[in-house]
Amino acid sequence: MMRNAQLKFMKVEAELSITINENTNSADCLMQMAGRDSLSMEVSGPFGISVARLYSNSKFFLFHDMLQGRAIEGKPTRETLSEVTFLPLSFEDYASLFRAEPPGNIQLFTPVESYSDSVKSLYKRVIDPSATEYLLCNKVDGTIREYQRKNKEGILELSMVYDKYTIINGIPMPSIVSLNSPLRGVSVTVTAQSIFVNDSIPSVMRFPLPASITPLRMD
């Protein structure tokens, strides 16, 4: 909770390794987040050519597929965002998990007493009858080392593994984040090249669309 209040802005320049149905590609990514209020992402391919952009806040998202010359906008639910980004993440999930923080109310996570480890503690939260979340945390500094979400059958829907933490402006930030969504056949490894914490927040994070593009609406 203290970390949530301290982390006001983050900017990450990273390399991406993206695997979709066993086909792997590499890209670069620039991600900016203003607290938990809004985020922007820009993905570039070879030679620094931008291929996709995403802007989202809690009520609205805009996705620009620059390769296909199209744009999509809508409400940033897990269902709609997963259609355009291939990742089963809502805006809240993005805003929390990419900040290396638990989604939702952290006080609803309870210790799993049967889990025994000298270095890490395991917590769980039942979201609703359809899903359960798990957090594996370092006992010393409280940082998240792994997040999992499983469906009611106990099948893994999403996992995120955090590695190589460094302290930046007094806040521990992971340098490597590995995301896996087995049911969708998607895995992404984010390797940060530069991380900036609590620098000045840009006055405008939403990008403009070319006048020739009218976005499709997805609700």
Give how many domains the chain has, as a whole number: 1
**Residue 128 pLDDT:** 77
**Residue 201 pLDDT:** 78
What spatial distance separates the first Cα and last Cα of the chain, rounded to whole Å? 32
Q: What secondary structure letter does DSSP report for 106?
A: G
Q: Is the pLDDT of residue 1 over 70?
A: no
Q: Is the pLDDT of residue 105 over 90?
A: no
Give the tens place of pLDDT for each residue, 19-61.
998 899 999 999 999 988 999 999 998 878 999 999 999 999 9
- Percent of the chain surpassing pLDDT 90: 74
Least confident of 63-67, 87-91, 155-159, 205-209: 87-91
Residue type, 84: V
H runs (alpha helix) in 43-190: 78-85, 91-97
CATH number of the domain where residue 133 is located? 2.50.20.10
CA triplet 16, 183, 24: central angle to 5 degrees?
Answer: 30
pLDDT band, residue 68 (cuts 50/70/90):
very high
The Cα 7–Cα 219 span in angstroms is: 31
Q: What is the mean pLDDT of residues 93-100?
A: 91
**Residue 65 pLDDT:** 95
Domain with 129 in it: 2-218
Give the tens place of pLDDT for each residue, 169-184.
999 999 999 999 999 9
Residue type, 191: T
Q: What is the mean pLDDT of residues 183-203?
A: 91
Q: What is the mean pLDDT of residues 93-120?
A: 91
CA triplet 160, 116, 2: central angle to 5 degrees?
Answer: 55
The Cα 179–Cα 99 span in angstroms is: 13
H runs (alpha helix) in the chain: 2-6, 78-85, 91-97
